[in-house]
Amino acid sequence: MTNPTVPLLDDYRTAFVRWLTTRTLEGCVCWEGRPNGFISHLPGSMFVQFITRSSLQGQAWGFFTVRDSNGELFRATASITGVETAPLAVAVQALFFTMTWGGPHFIH
Protein backbone atom coordinates (compact mmCIF):
# COMPACT_ATOMS: atom_id res chain seq x y z
CA MET A 1 0.00 0.00 0.00
CA THR A 2 1.33 3.44 -0.85
CA ASN A 3 1.13 6.48 1.34
CA PRO A 4 -1.23 9.00 -0.35
CA THR A 5 0.32 11.97 1.46
CA VAL A 6 3.77 11.56 -0.14
CA PRO A 7 2.77 13.04 -3.55
CA LEU A 8 1.09 15.95 -1.75
CA LEU A 9 4.25 16.62 0.26
CA ASP A 10 6.38 16.41 -2.88
CA ASP A 11 4.06 18.89 -4.63
CA TYR A 12 4.27 21.27 -1.66
CA ARG A 13 8.07 21.00 -1.52
CA THR A 14 8.41 21.54 -5.25
CA ALA A 15 6.08 24.55 -5.10
CA PHE A 16 8.13 26.00 -2.24
CA VAL A 17 11.37 25.69 -4.23
CA ARG A 18 9.73 27.28 -7.28
CA TRP A 19 8.50 30.14 -5.05
CA LEU A 20 12.03 30.52 -3.68
CA THR A 21 13.41 30.69 -7.23
CA THR A 22 10.93 33.42 -8.11
CA ARG A 23 11.77 35.39 -4.96
CA THR A 24 15.49 35.01 -5.75
CA LEU A 25 14.93 36.36 -9.27
CA GLU A 26 12.99 39.29 -7.79
CA GLY A 27 15.94 40.10 -5.53
CA CYS A 28 13.95 39.38 -2.35
CA VAL A 29 16.13 36.44 -1.29
CA CYS A 30 19.84 36.97 -0.75
CA TRP A 31 22.28 34.08 -0.76
CA GLU A 32 25.59 33.99 1.10
CA GLY A 33 28.52 32.11 -0.35
CA ARG A 34 30.13 29.64 2.05
CA PRO A 35 33.21 27.45 1.62
CA ASN A 36 31.04 24.38 1.02
CA GLY A 37 27.97 25.96 -0.57
CA PHE A 38 25.35 28.66 -0.16
CA ILE A 39 22.87 29.64 2.54
CA SER A 40 19.91 31.99 2.72
CA HIS A 41 18.08 33.09 5.85
CA LEU A 42 14.34 33.52 5.34
CA PRO A 43 11.79 35.21 7.62
CA GLY A 44 10.55 33.24 10.59
CA SER A 45 13.89 31.62 11.53
CA MET A 46 13.86 29.47 8.40
CA PHE A 47 16.92 28.93 6.26
CA VAL A 48 17.83 27.03 3.13
CA GLN A 49 21.23 25.65 2.26
CA PHE A 50 23.04 24.13 -0.70
CA ILE A 51 26.00 21.85 -0.09
CA THR A 52 28.12 21.93 -3.22
CA ARG A 53 30.98 20.03 -4.75
CA SER A 54 33.47 20.89 -7.45
CA SER A 55 33.79 18.82 -10.58
CA LEU A 56 35.46 19.08 -13.96
CA GLN A 57 32.33 20.84 -15.22
CA GLY A 58 32.46 23.41 -12.38
CA GLN A 59 30.50 23.74 -9.18
CA ALA A 60 27.45 21.50 -8.68
CA TRP A 61 25.01 21.00 -5.87
CA GLY A 62 24.86 17.68 -4.13
CA PHE A 63 22.48 18.37 -1.27
CA PHE A 64 19.76 20.95 -0.55
CA THR A 65 18.01 21.36 2.80
CA VAL A 66 15.28 23.54 4.27
CA ARG A 67 15.39 24.05 8.04
CA ASP A 68 13.73 26.07 10.74
CA SER A 69 14.44 26.44 14.46
CA ASN A 70 12.88 23.01 15.10
CA GLY A 71 15.07 21.15 12.62
CA GLU A 72 15.01 19.92 9.05
CA LEU A 73 11.77 20.35 7.12
CA PHE A 74 12.90 18.60 3.96
CA ARG A 75 15.90 17.83 1.80
CA ALA A 76 16.72 16.99 -1.77
CA THR A 77 19.75 15.38 -3.35
CA ALA A 78 21.04 15.85 -6.87
CA SER A 79 19.92 13.19 -9.28
CA ILE A 80 22.29 10.73 -10.86
CA THR A 81 22.88 11.11 -14.58
CA GLY A 82 20.75 8.72 -16.57
CA VAL A 83 18.17 8.23 -13.83
CA GLU A 84 14.68 9.73 -13.99
CA THR A 85 14.68 13.02 -12.10
CA ALA A 86 11.95 13.84 -9.58
CA PRO A 87 10.14 17.19 -9.93
CA LEU A 88 11.64 18.39 -6.64
CA ALA A 89 15.19 17.77 -7.87
CA VAL A 90 14.39 19.56 -11.14
CA ALA A 91 13.08 22.58 -9.19
CA VAL A 92 16.15 22.63 -6.93
CA GLN A 93 18.43 22.41 -9.98
CA ALA A 94 16.62 25.41 -11.50
CA LEU A 95 17.10 27.35 -8.24
CA PHE A 96 20.80 26.46 -8.18
CA PHE A 97 21.25 27.61 -11.80
CA THR A 98 19.34 30.81 -11.04
CA MET A 99 21.71 31.62 -8.20
CA THR A 100 24.97 30.62 -9.81
CA TRP A 101 24.29 32.05 -13.25
CA GLY A 102 22.97 35.25 -11.68
CA GLY A 103 26.32 35.69 -9.94
CA PRO A 104 26.80 38.77 -7.81
CA HIS A 105 23.16 39.77 -8.20
CA PHE A 106 22.10 36.91 -5.94
CA ILE A 107 25.20 35.74 -4.03
CA HIS A 108 26.85 38.01 -1.51
Q: Is residue 103 part of a domain?
A: no
Cβ(108)–Cβ(41) under 8 Å?
A: no
pLDDT at 1: 43
Q: Is residue 50 part of a domain?
A: yes
Query: How many percent of the chain have pLDDT more than 90?
Result: 51
User: Which residues constitute the domain of residue 71?
Assistant: 5-97
pLDDT at 91: 94
78 against 66, higher pLDDT: 66
Cα-flanking dihedrals φ and ψ of residue 22, to 5°?
Answer: -60, -45
Strand partners, 46: 42
Q: Is residue 23 part of a domain?
A: yes
Given a cut of 60, whether residue 24 has pLDDT beyond it is yes
Q: Is residue 11 part of a domain?
A: yes
Q: Is residue 59 part of a domain?
A: yes
Given a cut of 80, whether residue 85 has pLDDT beyond it is no
47 against 3, higher pLDDT: 47
Cβ(32)–Cβ(38) under 8 Å?
A: yes
Number of domains in the chain: 1
Q: Is residue 67 part of a domain?
A: yes
Q: How far is the C-alpha of 86 from the C-alpha of 78, rounded, in Å?
A: 10
The pTM (predicted TM-score) of the whole model is 0.83
Q: Is residue 14 part of a domain?
A: yes
Question: Is 51 buried (19+), middle (13-18) or exposed (0-12) by CB count in 10 A?
Answer: middle
